[in-house]
Structure 1
Amino acid sequence: MNDSMSSMAECLVRWGATILVAVALIVRCKIYLKRTDSSQRHVIVDIGTCKKIFDCKKYLDDILTNQLTPSASRAIPNQRLVKAFNIYNGFTSQDPALGKRFKADASEKINISDDAWSKIAHISQTLVHQQISGADTHGDAIFLNRLAQSITLKISLSVLYGLEPSTLNSTAIAHIAEGIDARWRASKIPGSHCPISLVSLNQSLQTIFPALEIKEGRENPLNFILPAYETMWRAVLLGTISIAFPDERMSHPSNYSTVLVQYLQSPNKHTFEQIHPSEGGISVAHIAQEILRLFPPTKRVYRRYHFPNEEPQLLAADIEACHHDKTIWGDDAQTFKPERWRSIDEKTKESYMPFGAGKYACPARVEFAPMMVGLLVAAFVGQLTEAQREISKECTENRGRGKTEEDKGVKLVNRRGMANFIVRRKQ
């Protein structure tokens, strides 16, 4: 009798423990996950869990273990890019050794001297000035999206491959930028047709790299161009608009322009971080951090997970949601406010991850990317604020959703296929 009761008690304990685990999983899932209607992907919005997802680790209180290797977990969601661009790099390969080599090569390419930064600043200012002054002379509108893409791509090619931006074929550059954007967006929709073929994209690449045989695999220049250019140009565009065409919520828009223009005179790590007491106590670093917070280059980081006895699933760490969380950043979380970076606590810093975190964090995150964003935005702002200008927004396709709030006015929405921003000189 006692043995029977003891066995029953043990069963109840085990069942109770199982139920508690199940309840915990359900509760945690409700807290951490939101399911998108279109793709049935799990989107993670909790900061701590996002960081586990970056490293392809366990999650939900370390109860569920990913059966895939970290390299596979990272590479599988990016196979759509292999099909779209014929690339083979650290983002698409399941070989951890190749991933390490790719990261090392990228780190070497972006390790540039102070003299190189000065040269980039001069070239950027020259390119932007030529385009904007030319438009002013002929009374033409400035299509800011295209200009941000063109300048960012030319500077990326200069840094990565030592090409001289002023000599690059502008038609080929425009087609490459358009092709990257179109094929990237099409790759996210299975079965969709892209109007720009990979053949035509490679033809434009061949124009830029006449001595290089454009082919698939490790020798494809897009292996480095995509992570450098594609993630940066939107931050440059939206950061420029935020400063050159401020809304009424911004506290010191003129200060931002002044600090940025001064940075162009001598761009280096010291001037990037230098505080300007007479300009509100901010630095270019504060401005760049705020741009990357509001408009993170990668809004979501995807990982493939395969839990025991379950179908494989795709988990997405939602960086943008973490960056816009009012419980962390305050009620003004979606307001462009570099001043917030003058005094920021550790908990808030932990939620800032525009280039991911952990072992797969982008090697450009510490210096190169923030400094480059600050420099390119400075080049645009310096030219756009020299005269009275106005900006308007030309809506792109609505993707079958009908007109939404983000398509009205000049509200800034960080997405591929965003509206075209058009700048005209006031009469």
Structure 2
Amino acid sequence: MTLAHVAALLGGVVLSEAVRLLNHYGYYSNLSKLFEKRAELVVCILMGYFTSKICEESSSMIASIMLHVVFAGYGVFVDGLLRSTQVLPNLQSEHQSACFRTANVAECREIIKSGTGPAAPKNTLSALEARARPNQRLKLAFGIHSCFTSSDEKSCRNFRASVEKLLYVDEKEWVNFAAVARETAKEALDGDNGDTASLFGVVQLLTLKTMLRVLWPDRDPKQSTNEQISALAHGVNMQWLRSKEANDSDDPSWLFDKQTSLKDAVKAVFPDWVEANSNENLCNLILPGYETMWRVVLRCFVEVKARNHKQAGGWENVLKSFSKEPTKQKLEAELTQSDPRVAAVHVAKEALRLYPPTRRIYREHRDADDQKPNVSADVEAMQRDSDVWKEQPDIFKPERWIGKEEGYDQGYMPFGARPFNCPAKRWRNVPMPFGLSMIALLVGTLIEVTDAKWEIHGDFSDKEEPLDTDREAHGAAFLQRKSS
């Protein structure tokens, strides 16, 4: 065997591994089925080797020509492979194509855990792969590389550890978060807006600027203006909406590389951002930290301030009390003057129940025949299921949480479920449970700043029904300064 033959054999193996890795990380290849069958690949390599060996014994010239043909063939395969792997997946709007959806508690837990729906054969994909594959839209739309888009166990573990380090901070750091939130809310309302301000704009700025303090504690807050942060908040939201559009093109208009305005907004807030480094993409943290948060804050604020609930006065008081003194004790402290005795944590839990940050959690299921439908855990429907939430499940009612355990009969998954619980969920062995505390802090701060000075206007439905959870719903709502 000559060195050239060895090189040809190694080249075939390397090519096979390249295809496997490309598919593993979410790219798609028309040649993948061929190279996934290693036996066929070995046969092809051996046939090429023996053919060249026979030709070498009969004629060195023919052997040389055959060797060039073999390498030319490899070149064709490599070229075809590179071209085919650049084809983007045909992403359908809201993952509706061939998607099984359920709101059953047990089925939702199993889908989140393994991507396996009821009566379906065991998923041949790993749990990480089942999660990463439906999220490739985020990779294309925002250029992110995180545990949501990657199935690499080590990188996912490292990403989670880095996030936990940022979220699980001492109570004294929460005082700093509260100061940023209060200053931001006042600036948003008492700036140059006049007597009206967009509710979307205020909540988005309040949420993103506070989360910037959480996620980048060493960042100089003076390096960007509120206008620049608002532009980034708006840009992220609009890009999310664009990426939800049906895509029948191999080159959709919403690819991150084409979003000049969004990238400019990122650079305005983070001047040192290096676009080429996907691991350092700011959207890796902005999406889970901001995009999933602000919509819950907005709807919780509307429920408390604008829907004429009988108990709303008590909710306002506990939220304001917590925003002024953000401690774990204050989060759980029940209002003694009211009956029932509600706490800020109950209000935040109810906001997450009725308006979960992720309405549906998607997984990809692949069976032995390589059929790959998506499956979905309908978290929103599950958390409004009357079989679990027997007391007026469609009504915002924080009092339902008094004396209840966190899982409430296991039908409560705003932070996902094992083994993919969001780090923001953790309650035990941390100074403050981040998700609940941040929602209570932001809503309480907004109530505190607007109290007796601003009133909310918008087309909100009857309080007997949940607020519209469409991403663009209530975009016309606004705050108006009360006349003195």
Give the shorter-chain TM-score range. Answer: 0.7 to 0.9
Equivalent residues in 2 for 1:89-168, closer than 5 Å: 89-134=146-191, 138-139=194-195, 141-162=196-217, 163-165=219-221, 168=224
Separation (CA, whole Å) in 2 of partners of 1:91 and 1:347: 24
Q: Distance in 2 between matches of 1:388 and 1:212?
A: 38
- Structure 2 distance, partners of 1:37, 1:118, is 41
CA contact (8 A) 2:323 2:440 kept: no
1:213 aligns with 2:274: yes
2:440 corresponds in structure 1 to 374
Q: Is the 8 A contact 1:392 1:410 kept in 2?
A: no
Aligned to 1:12: none
Matched, 1:261 2:316: no
What secondary structure sits across from 2:443 in the alignment?
Answer: helix
Q: What whole-Å deviation, never above 9, does each CA across 1:247-300 have from its counterpart, x for those lacking one?
A: 3xx231001111111112210212111222223311111010001111111111
Contact preservation (8 Å) 2:174, 2:326: yes
Aligned residue in 2 for 1:356: 416
Q: 1:226 matched to which residue of 2?
A: 287
* Structure 2, unaligned runs of 5 or more: 1-93, 427-432
Q: Is the aligned partner of 1:50 residue 2:105? A: no
Amino acid corresponding to residue 161 of structure 1 in structure 2: W
Matched, 1:274 2:274: no
Indicate if the aligned counterparts of 2:136 and 2:149 stay in contact, CA closer than 8 A: yes
Structure 2 residue 453 is the aligned partner of structure 1 residue 387: yes
Taking only aligned residues, the RMSD between alpha carbons, in angstroms, comes to 2.6
Shift of 1:57: 5.1
Offset at 1:43?
1.1
Distance, in Å, in 1 between the alignment partners of 2:150 and 2:213 is: 26
Assess if the C-alpha contact under 8 Å between 1:74 and 1:91 holds in 2.
yes
- Paired residues for 1:6-85 under 5 Å: 39-56=97-114, 58-60=116-118, 64-85=121-142
1:316 has 2:376 as partner: yes
TM-score by length of 2: 0.72
Contact 2:139 2:149 in 1 (8 A): yes
- Judge conservation of contact 1:87–1:216 (CA < 8 Å) in 2: no
- The question of whether the paired residues in 1 share the 8 Å contact of 2:130 and 2:365 is answered with yes
Counterpart Cα distance in 1 of 2:255 and 2:161: 35
Percent of aligned positions with the same letter in both sequences? 28
C-alpha displacement of 1:119 = 1.2
Structure 1 contact 231–297 (Cα < 8 Å) conserved: yes
Question: 8 Å contact 2:112–2:363 — kept in the other structure?
Answer: yes
Kindly state the Cα deviation for residue 198 of structure 1 after the two structures are TM-superposed. Answer: 2.3
Larger radius of gyration: 2
- List alignment gaps of at least 5 residues for structure 1: 1-35, 395-404
Instruction: Look up the SS of the partner of 1:43 in the other structure.
Output: strand
The structural deviation recorded for 1:331 is 5.0
